[in-house]
Structure 1
Amino acid sequence: MKSTQLNIYQRILDELTENILKGVDRKLKTYFDKYKPSKKDEDELLTVDETLKILKCSKQALWNWRKNGILPSYRLGNRVYYKKSDIFSKLIKQE
């Protein structure tokens, strides 16, 4: 009797977990579709401050990501820029 009850509980837990994961997946897809840059904005260069607002991280973290090659950057003179498309692709792919 106990073995049958455990199997039923396990199936219920598996179904609940699957439903939760599907819901989270739908919400994330909706979120990223909403904030996905248009073709025009993909090649837009962002300053460090604009990039920090999108990523919500510290300047030190952004600097480390740039130095370690995690997030590619572009220099024009003394200024550092980041492509909006690079930021969103790294957020989505998590490479």
Structure 2
Amino acid sequence: MNSKEIRIYNLSPDEFKESIRSIVKELVPKQKNKLEKLPSTEELLTVDETLKLLKCSKQALWNWRKNGILPSYRLGNRVYYKKSDIFNKLVKQV
């Protein structure tokens, strides 16, 4: 990737838009490639999806999260679990 210095304060609105377009055109394909390379188990599950997968009660899931048995991730006020973490924990239990 060629680095190029862009001085935004010297750009006209049209030049600024074109600069942003060129940056997006360059970065979006690279990010898509990175996302496609992630294994499907990196998917984030909601609490309800995790409950269905583990077939356990909400209280049990909360206790596992509270005690650090199953790591959770917060985005805003929502809690998510990585599918890979769940499978790794299940494999270690066997």
User: By the TM > 0.5 criterion, same fold?
Assistant: yes
Poorly superposed stretches of 4+, deviation over 4 Å: none
Alpha-carbon separation, structure 2, partners of 1:41 and 1:93: 20
Identical-residue share of aligned pairs (%): 84
Alpha-carbon separation, structure 2, partners of 1:57 and 1:49: 10
- Post-superposition CA distance 1:68-92 (Å, at most 9, x none): 0000000000000000000001011
Aligned residues: 57
Q: Give me the TM-score of the superposition, normalised by structure 2.
A: 0.58
Alpha-carbon separation, structure 1, partners of 2:40 and 2:82: 9
Match for residue 75 of structure 2? 76
Q: Give me the TM-score of the superposition, normalised by structure 1.
A: 0.57
5+ residue gaps, structure 1, are 1-38
The CA RMSD measured in Å over matched residues stands at 1.4
5+ residue gaps, structure 2, are 1-37
